[in-house]
Amino acid sequence: MTDVLLRRASVALCLAGVGIAGYLTYVHYAGLRPICGISHGCETVQTSRYASLVGIPVALLGLISYVLILITLTIRDERALLTGTGLTLIAFGFSVYLTYREVFTIHAICSWCVSSAIVFSLMAITGAIRAVRVGGELSPVPAEAT
């Protein structure tokens, strides 16, 4: 799989994540009840004490993460690749933690949150593959080093 395909997949995933996190952020600030299709636990999760971190809604943190990762995908250099991959792995880890809290502490599942966790999981995979496969291709090798 080429860097172009991996980057396109990452951008598509990011845009899906922006949609999910954007919706949840809107619902939070508008004071609405989230539409929750299959699981019927979205409101329980969104109003739990785990729905914010130091007073910032987790949905907003997710939205900011997706936007920052999307920005790194528009820059073609090693620093942007490593920064984006790092952000993705942190977001993936936080999603795992929040999913754990949904299942074992809150005892409710938010389908939006699970969708975001799946997106971050897929982004962690594509980001790690890009970092391993493409990382060396992004920094040019000086002519005297060859």
Q: Is 121 within the bounds of a domain?
A: yes
At 129, list the tokens.
């593959």
Percentages of the chain per state (helix, strand, coil), in multiples of 5: 75, 5, 20
The pLDDT tens digits along the chain (146 residues) read: 788 899 999 999 999 999 999 999 999 999 998 988 776 789 999 999 999 999 999 999 999 999 999 999 999 888 999 999 999 999 999 999 999 999 999 999 999 999 999 999 999 999 999 988 865 555 544 445 44
- Please tell me the predicted confidence (pLDDT) of residue 137: 58
Q: What is the pLDDT of residue 135?
A: 56
Where in the sequence is the domain holding 59, given as residue range(s)? Answer: 3-134
Tokens of 88: 């993705």
Q: What is the dihedral of CA 43, 47, 53, 57, to 10 degrees?
A: 60
Q: Is residue 70 part of a domain?
A: yes
Question: Is the whole-model pTM more than 0.85?
Answer: yes
The total number of structural domains that make up the chain = 1
Q: Residue 41's domain is classified under what CATH number?
A: 1.20.1440.130
Asked, for residue 139, whether it belongs to a domain, the answer is no
